[in-house]
Amino acid sequence: MTLFSFSSHELDFIDDDEFHEECGVVGIWTTQDAASLTALGLHALQHRGQEASGIVTYDGNQFHTHRGLGLVGEVFDDPRVIASLPGGMGIGHNRYATTGETQLRNVQPLYGDFEFGGFAVAHNGNLTNAQLLKQSLVRRGCLFQSSTDSEVFIHLIAISLYSNVIDRFIDAIKQVQGAYSLVALSKDMLIAARDPLGVRPLILGKLPYSQDENSWVVASETCALSSMGADFVRDIEPGEVIIIDHDGVRSIHPFADNTSSRFCIFEYVYFARPDSVIENKSVYMARKKIGAELAKESHVEADVVVPVPDSGVPAAIGYAEASNIPFELGIIRSHYIGRTFIEPTDQIRNLGVKLKHATNRAVISGKRVILIDDSIVRGTTSKKIVEMVRAAGATEVHLRIASPPTQHSCFYGIDTPAEEKLLAHTHSIDEMCKLIGADSLGFVSADGLYRALQEDKRNNQNPQYCDACFTGDYPIPLTDHDMQLVKSK
pLDDT, tens only, 370-413? 999 999 999 999 999 999 999 999 999 999 999 999 999 999 98
Report the CATH number at residue 439.
3.40.50.2020
| 335 domain residue, yes or no | yes
pLDDT grade, residue 31 (50/70/90)? confident
pLDDT at 337: 59
Same domain, 28 and 110: yes
Is 266 domain-assigned?
no
pLDDT number for residue 345: 52
Please state the φ and ψ torsions of residue 128, each to the nearest 5 degrees: -95, -5
**Cβ atoms < 10 Å from Cβ of 193:** 26
Question: Do 381 and 449 lie in a common domain?
Answer: yes
What pLDDT does residue 97 have? 57
Q: Are residues 91 and 195 in the same domain?
A: yes
Q: Encode pLDDT of 163-218 as tens digits.
A: 999 999 999 999 999 999 999 999 999 999 999 999 999 999 999 877 678 899 99
Mean pLDDT, rounded, of the chain: 90
Task: Report how many domains make up the chain.
Answer: 2
Q: Where in the sequence numbering do the catalytic residues fall?
A: 23
The whole-number pLDDT of residue 474 equals 96
pLDDT of residue 340: 38
Q: What pLDDT band is residue 45 in, cutting at 50, 70 and 90?
A: very high
Regarding whether 249 and 102 lie in a shared domain, the answer is: yes
Q: Quick one: 42 and 168 in the same domain?
A: yes
Residue 28, in any domain of the structure: yes
| 119: pLDDT strictly greater than 70 | yes
In a domain, 92, yes or no: yes
pLDDT at residue number 103: 82
The Cα 360–Cα 362 span in angstroms is 6
* 38 in any annotated domain: yes
289 plus 231 within the same structural domain: no
Choosing from 213, 229, 261, the residue where a domain stops is 261
How does residue 65 score in pLDDT terms, banded at 50, 70 and 90?
very high
d(CA 369, CA 409): 31
Q: How far is CA 276 from CA 225, 313, 462, in A?
A: 9, 15, 26
456 shares a domain with 309: yes
2 pLDDT higher than 70: no
Structural domain includes residue 313: yes
**Confidence (pLDDT) at 343:** 46
> Percentage of the chain surpassing pLDDT 90?
79
264-285 mean pLDDT = 96
* Model confidence band, residue 354 (pLDDT cutoffs 50, 70, 90): low
- Does one domain contain both 233 and 319? no
Percentage of the residues of the chain whose pLDDT score is greater than 70: 89
State the residue range of the domain holding 99: 21-261
The reply to whether 305 and 237 lie within a common domain is: no
- Are 122 and 245 part of one and the same domain? yes
Residue 41 lies in a domain: yes
Q: What angle do CA 257, 262, 263 make, to 5 degrees?
A: 125
The verdict on 56 and 108 lying in the same domain is yes
Are residues 295 and 155 located together in one domain of the fold? no
What pLDDT does residue 363 have? 96
Within a domain: 484: no
CATH, residue 45: 3.60.20.10
